[in-house]
Structure 1
């Protein structure tokens, strides 16, 4: 194996640590790894430095629109690529993919492997905003086909969406991997409490994740089953699709939901919960919180939507339920199913753990990623 130089562009240091840490460790065994990341918070710097990579910081805001800031980001990344001359360029999430792929092409990088870990808010059905239209145009320009370009997706629906939108063509080299994978050694399965039932949702507080639906369902279920508890973990951040401040205040102070904010380690919270809920229609890649739920042997309720549906088997080995998007009534029904059929909580959870071992083991996913990037 000839050692190569790999440059990763991401939209947050936390995502690199949480979602790509094991992949970076694998790359580092044979290759030199550089990372272009937004400013690293003090509490994450030590974790990132443990990965033994060479770090370059920038001022990218992945959630907001700023033409000047985005252009500055693209120019800085182009200069860095010219300086480092990487053999492989691996950008992931929307802005690094758009601006990074363009910069890497202009700089003459031979192997470019952008990963779209979900298409996000700009591709939600019915979104015809100017920002969405500009994003799609930029993505089409960025992903224009050429030798050495291999686009990585986390579900087949996203591939088809970009084909239908004529953003990519059948001539593009594409690959689909099973999300970011989950470290089955890190998330230890535990026996759920089926007598004191607790539902939990782990998500950023944005509309398309289904926060409103979870809020409404919790209020309804509690009236009938006041012994059941409900938890919500996740940050309320600066995002174009953030929930309304009034709803946030309602959740925090006047609802049955125990809002816990952002946490560094979800494991104890998943362990103390019975069922994981994610009523998302966000155009996920494959939601990390659902992979974590499966790894800890938790039953799932999620939407029959892009990315989410990949995590649920509804056959004889059912591990959860798929519900229609924006359907509070059906979410309530499935919550009530687990309350009145509490043995299913355990059996569905064990089926989910088996599915995680079969499809979503991070080592299997990363081996495929290394193959796509021609690093093995």
Structure 2
């Protein structure tokens, strides 16, 4: 009698985040013989995920909620799903799924738990009083949830990994470094530069924590210096996040002529191929997928010297690192690149080489299957281009 395939269950709050950051890995797991189940809030991507042959189950979890009754209801729903599905492997993605799924895993039959601590979230990046009060509690619960069974904790950058090991939140043998979500280097490719005023693009959700205000202030400073550059913000609002930039503020910046805000864009390849300099002055990241796409498209990158961001840039090799929350340093770095086309080309070529060598989908997929204890499948035909385009920076869970 044939054994049924082993079951892999993804627990992730937003279907858009799964679709943009984990779809290639889920495909590889399916091709390796696993049954894939995705538990998520079903919004705009449910049908697309089902079309991959995955079962999709509704989560109905409020990403920004802290109301105790709603959170208890979420715990009960997750527990019921885990008991009914009996997965062999669960991949819990971002803070709430890691906290809730990890807590419940202590009370359920043994399963292989993979906790993906992507980005660390608002609690760890914000200096607001509410975030500072929650931080010790979240750290304490994480220490409990990350020690379940034979579970593994996956970190996107070595700074976060070292911190969690040093504080005792996770044992060294349970900590794994997988650097980001990967990038399809066959899809994201360079194009010849255009003879024009350089375009500087920041691609992210419109959050203050992404350095959006510093980006705009740098644009203001460079305009005052007479530096010719066009500044673009590309990304949607995330009203659930306390760090969200109000739409009225974005429109006021546009009225001043400082930036162009394009909002949410589906064709990110086109955005990057219409960009000369990529910029992400974020306060902290896991490992930003938008930066990997920019590198794959052969763009120089200006980003901050903080966890996650500095993983994508070697200073003076494929881009420039600046201190966080420092608009003057950001403006100075951008001015160098705006005025020096040869430097842009050199940084861009090195960035492309690095994306292919270190951050491609193939590298990330192989590392993830190893965490699942699953051998990598033989190469399969790539999906049609229409299926490979991702949507811009969906809300992080």
TM-score by length of 2: 0.88
What residue in structure 2 maps to residue 6 of structure 1? 8
Range with greater deviation from structure 2 (353-362 or 121-130): 121-130
Matches of 1:88 and 1:58 in 2, distance apart?
A: 18
Matches of 1:257 and 1:52 in 2, distance apart?
A: 42
Contact in 2 for aligned 1:118/1:158 (Cα 8 Å): no
Matches of 1:39 and 1:95 in 2, distance apart?
A: 17
Contact in 2 for aligned 1:92/1:116 (Cα 8 Å): yes
What residue in structure 2 maps to residue 67 of structure 1? 68
Matches of 1:303 and 1:15 in 2, distance apart?
A: 23
**C-alpha displacement at 1:291, in angstroms?**
0.2
Contact in 2 for aligned 1:88/1:109 (Cα 8 Å): no
**C-alpha displacement at 1:246, in angstroms?**
5.3
Matches of 1:83 and 1:324 in 2, distance apart?
A: 49
What residue in structure 1 maps to residue 132 of structure 2? 129
Matches of 1:193 and 1:68 in 2, distance apart?
A: 55
1:43-54 equivalence runs, <5 A: 44-54=45-55
What residue in structure 1 maps to residue 34 of structure 2? 31
Matches of 2:214 and 2:40 in 1, distance apart?
A: 34
Q: Does residue 1:352 correspond to 2:351, yes or no? A: yes
1:1-376 equivalence runs, <5 A: 3-29=5-31, 30-41=33-44, 44-124=45-125, 126=127, 129-143=132-146, 145-170=147-172, 172-193=173-194, 195-225=196-226, 227-238=228-239, 239-244=241-246, 247-282=249-284, 284-314=285-315, 318-376=317-375
| Corresponding residue SS for 1:363 | helix
Deviations 1:223-248 (A, max 9, x none): 33364211001111121222356533
Deviations 1:136-182 (A, max 9, x none): 23222222x24311111111111122234442244x51100111110
Matches of 2:4 and 2:346 in 1, distance apart?
A: 47
Cα 1:307/1:54, change in 2 over 3 Å: same
Matches of 1:270 and 1:325 in 2, distance apart?
A: 23
Matches of 1:152 and 1:246 in 2, distance apart?
A: 38
Contact in 1 for aligned 2:103/2:145 (Cα 8 Å): yes
Contact in 2 for aligned 1:275/1:298 (Cα 8 Å): yes
**C-alpha displacement at 1:194, in angstroms?**
5.8
Deviations 1:204-228 (A, max 9, x none): 1112110110010011112333642
| Corresponding residue SS for 1:285 | coil
Deviations 1:295-353 (A, max 9, x none): 111110000000000000225xx110000111111111111101221211111111100
**C-alpha displacement at 1:192, in angstroms?**
2.8
* Structure 2 stretches lacking a partner, 5+ long: 376-397
Matches of 1:343 and 1:290 in 2, distance apart?
A: 21
**C-alpha displacement at 1:31, in angstroms?**
0.9
Aligned residues: 369
**C-alpha displacement at 1:277, in angstroms?**
0.5
| Corresponding residue SS for 2:91 | strand
**C-alpha displacement at 1:39, in angstroms?**
2.5
| Corresponding residue SS for 2:106 | helix
**C-alpha displacement at 1:102, in angstroms?**
1.6
Contact in 1 for aligned 2:281/2:302 (Cα 8 Å): yes
Range with greater deviation from structure 2 (200-209 or 236-245): 236-245
What residue in structure 1 maps to residue 382 of structure 2? none
Matches of 2:360 and 2:324 in 1, distance apart?
A: 28
| Corresponding residue SS for 1:223 | helix
Matches of 1:347 and 1:197 in 2, distance apart?
A: 16
TM-score by length of 1: 0.93
Cα 1:138/1:245, change in 2 over 3 Å: farther
